[in-house]
A = this chain, B = another copy of it.
Amino acid sequence: MTTTPTKKPAMFETEKKSALDAISQAQFIAFAPYIFHASVILRDSGILNKVQDSRTNGMTLEEIGANVNMSRYGIRILLEAGLGIGLLLRKEGKYLLSKTGHFFLNDPMTRVNTDFMRDVCYEGSKELKSSIEQSKPNGLKYLGDWETIYQGLSILPEPAKTSWFNFDHYYSDNAFPEALPMVFAGSPRKVMDIGANTGKFTLACLEYNNNVEVGLVDLQVQLNVAKQNIEQAGYGNRVQYHERNVLHTDSELPTGYDVIWMSQFLDCFADDEIVFILEKCHRALSADGRVFINETFWDRQRFEASAFSLQMTSLYFTTMANGNSQMYDSKVFLGLIDKAGFEVVADTDNIGLSHTILELRKK
């Protein structure tokens, strides 16, 4: 965890590839859909597992064939594809799991990303161009008939539903332990949780501090779920529920709150909408009120692989979620904050897995 100002060399600034690596990478892009399908089958058919079990001995095609229910031809084309993709190595006729194969098979983040791509995004991904052109998530129709994915989340077909929630869960939650001391540093009496969803952060606040009151702001359908969770936990007497669609021009946010919390909420909106929502926050807060924003910015990641995952998640927002939002570059996002009349008091990277917490006050 580091605190502002953070100065790192910018990502994606310098050429790191040789010409030979670059032409290889260009072929990877050209054949990327086959890479995806072959890799997923290698994983899900148990072939990679079998090869992993053979450790440094490796396994011949024949040995793999004796353990996997697939034609010898099928196993052969997949194993050979796995060599070029980089999942496998081959030494004297024996296949071995590569480092990439190890991560593709075992790394939780990679599995979550792969399943999310396969079950939620794959069919709709081909609508990237039309989604951009029409500013709407044109790929969503392959999952259901909704305007945005948020209307469909609770009724997504399987396996999309499981893979969506696994993805969401993997990238959420782990920011709270570090976030709570920041939010409570100024001893707020009342905290507003915008985009409260199922009430996870609200509950964390109520447990963290015995006196704080929390106001949940969300659509009614979400508030119903949150209310159930909060009543069950016995905290019903310290919460208020405020049904709002934050994009509506005919309603304002409730007033009287010391702090506003928004966690992975604003990335669901377009630039202008973010400014619109922050301006509502501005009007709802007193002069010394604070806004805490928990977001994942791709340019604030420690590794380019993490930045890349977020850039790809932006394409999910475009094609499947809402057609107009993304995982932001912090520089773009900070510009919107400024435009809405706020200034950044603290800017803390590396919260949890990949989060940044911004603390704002009115300019």
Tell me the A residues contacting B by CB distance below 8 Å. Answer: 10-15, 17-39, 41, 70-71, 73-74, 76-78, 80-81, 83-91, 98-100, 102-104, 107, 109-110, 113-114, 117, 121-122, 125-126, 128-129, 132-133, 135, 270-271, 298, 303-305, 307-309, 311-312, 314-316, 318, 324, 326, 329, 332
Contact = CB atoms under 8 A, between A and B. Distances in A.
B71 A135 contact: yes
Given A15-B99, A318-B77, A91 B33 contact: no
A117 B31 contact: yes
12 contacts: A18-B99, A20-B305, A23-B100, A26-B103, A27-B110, A27-B305, A29-B114, A34-B312, A35-B312, A38-B315, A41-B132, A73-B132
Contact of A30 (B22, B84, B102, B113): B113
Q: How many copies does the complex hold?
A: 2
Nearest to A112: B30
B128 A84 contact: no
Given A80-B298, A128-B34, A132-B70, A104 B13 contact: no
Contact of A129 (B30, B37, B84): B37
B38 A110 contact: no
Given A132-B71, A135-B73, A312 B12 contact: no
Contacts of A125: 33-34, 37
A35 B29 contact: yes
A11 B83 contact: yes
Q: Is the interface of A mostly helix, strand, loop or mixed?
A: helix
Given A32-B33, A312-B84, A89 B27 contact: no
